[in-house]
């Protein structure tokens, strides 16, 4: 009887393994420590290949940095007043979003809602 219980438990464990493996993955838009994990395949954001040119552009433009009391993560809505949003030039990236620098981080923002859609590191 004891062997049957052990065999049944082992069989149940073996069948549940694929389900546990499927539950693992990348969390999109959630803060993980000091970093924010974003969907790297977002067709509207700044892709990994476009990041070096975008960083150089932001540094070259010397846009003013804004300070907000909130933590900067994807999904945060920036204040209506006091923050200036800039167009991303088409020579750097094709995106409907605008960018700004907040608390030392360059972020992409949905213009109408002022919601952060990507933190570009």
Domain ranges (residues) in the chain: 2-120
For residue 80, the model assigns a pLDDT of 86
Beta bridge partners of 102: 66, 105
pTM to 2 decimals? Answer: 0.64
pLDDT at 103 over 80: yes
For residue 35, the model assigns a pLDDT of 37
45 DSSP 8-state letter: S
pLDDT tens readout for residues 21-44? 444 443 344 444 333 344 444 567
Q: Is residue 39 exposed (0-12), middle (13-18) or buried (19+ Cβ within 10 Å)?
A: middle
The two three-digit tokens of residue 35, written as one number: 């970093």
CATH topology of domain 2-120: Nuclear Transport Factor 2; Chain: A, (3.10.450)
Q: Is residue 46 exposed (0-12), middle (13-18) or buried (19+ Cβ within 10 Å)?
A: buried
For residue 70, the model assigns a pLDDT of 84
């Amino acid at each position: 009887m004891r062997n049957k219980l052990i065999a049944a438990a082992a069989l149940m464990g073996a069948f549940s393994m694929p389900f546990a493996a499927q539950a693992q993955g990348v969390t999109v838009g959630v803060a993980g420590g000091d970093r924010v994990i974003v969907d790297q395949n977002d067709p509207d954001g700044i892709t990994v290949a476009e990041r070096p040119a975008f960083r150089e552009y932001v540094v070259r433009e010397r846009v003013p940095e804004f300070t907000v009391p909130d933590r900067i993560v994807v999904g945060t809505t920036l204040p209506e007043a006091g923050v200036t949003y800039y167009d991303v030039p088409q020579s750097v990236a094709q995106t409907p979003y605008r960018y700004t620098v907040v608390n030392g981080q360059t972020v992409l923002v949905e213009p109408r809602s002022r919601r952060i859609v990507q933190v570009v590191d």
